Amino acid sequence: MAQFTLEELPVLPLAETFALTAAYNADSFPDKVNLGQGVYRDEACRPWVLPSVRAAEEVLHNQNANHEYLPITGDKQFNDKARELMFSPKLAKNPNIRTVQTVAGTGANNLAALFCAHHIKPKNVFISDPTWDNHYLIWKTAGPEITQKLYPYYNASARSFDFDGMIAALEAGEENDVVVLHPCAHNPTGFDPSQEQWKKIAEVIGRKRLFVVFDSAYQGFASGDPDADAWAIRYFYSTFFGALSDSQTNPPTGMLVCQSFSKNFGLYGERIGALHLISPQSVAAEGAYTHLIRLIRAVISCPSLFGARVVNTILSDADLTAQWGEDVKTMALRIQGVRASLRAELEKINIKGDWSHIEQQIGMFSYTGLSKAQVERLKDVHHIYMLGNGRMSLSGLNESNVGYVARAIKDVVDHE
């Protein structure tokens, strides 16, 4: 057997989002525009600390709290509040929902993939095409033996949601296969199923007895209404698991919900998230819950403290919760306004094609339909940075630069 040396390992490229941010930061052009990184920015394109978060920080500063380790499962009060936010206070009391704190949404997704690989042992995992690029890496790392199957999600010619393609792909699933779903503000396309379409998706998943993993990164941020943004998750839960009985003859074999507080609380660097495990029966949830705990112990031992305290402080106080509700509306409305402004600017300068999809989408991103070559020209000629697949982070736009960006897009469209 040949001796292994570290020198044999090839140099891997930096993840695209981080490489793009590094290139933007190194660019000295005064009118450069960052439309790549998925973080909220205010009208001046500056980082925004939510007023509710700032108020919670003041409360915590005056508590003279310690910095001891959390339990392996995280802060119990935070977990309770996270579960109530996701499922509603009433549903959150059901014993077949178990919650652990995670290292943001990425950690929740990684823990979900590890759990499925170790214990569900699916033959396939169905992931939307396109999706958040880290989904592919997470599942490849956690379960290299699991085949990744991409279900159609985006119709490029119509610039719309490919519902029929998604359904046809899921019909090919086998029992215990995993399907990863975005409950709102699909990343990167910004297209979400309607409630009637969600019901059909649920019917197929239940009939095929697939295992569901929801990745919820934008609750409240998408529409400004946390309850509306959780509709799909609550529908799946109530339809298949809410009765805590055997009334469902063929429910999905289980469900995991990954919950991030990065976007909707602006706690990007605090890495705060939760993972909710749902079993058809409360007794079955207990054993699975202990296996989640074992995985956490092996990977991080216990989660981080400060961000969990911030979220818990906000959601435990009626006034701060109300303020947070206004904060997410502020973010959602600004993004909606930017969408309208960009579309109006594009149409004002008579750009080729139909750009109505920009306003039909929802959430932080617009899947513009621009090609990789067009995106490269935007960067090289106009110093506008966005992902190669044409995904634009709308929070990088404001009244000062939206006209410049629209003219640059027209240039790259006309150039081909």
Residues labelled as active-site residues: 132, 215, 263
Give the span between the Cα atoms of 254 and 103, in whole angstroms.
22
151 forms beta bridges with 128
Phi, psi of 230 (to 5 degrees): -100, 5
Where do we find the tokens 């909707």? 264
Read out DSSP for 243-297? T-SS--SS--SEEEEEEE-HHHH--GGGTEEEEEEE-SSHHHHHHHHHHHHHHHH
Dig out the tokens for 210 from the structure. 């697939």
User: What CA dihedral angle connects 288, 290, 291 and 296, to 10 degrees?
Assistant: 130
Dig out the tokens for 243 from the structure. 């009765």
CA distances from 312 to 166, 253, 265, 306 (A): 37, 31, 11, 10
**Closest Cα to residue 100, out of 306, 266, 281, 278?**
278
Name residues whose C-beta falls within 8 Å of residue 141's C-beta, 6 or more positions apart in sequence: 110, 113
Secondary structure, 3-state, 69-102: CCCCCCCHHHHHHHHHHHHCCCHHHCCCEEEEEE
Dig out the tokens for 391 from the structure. 């995904």
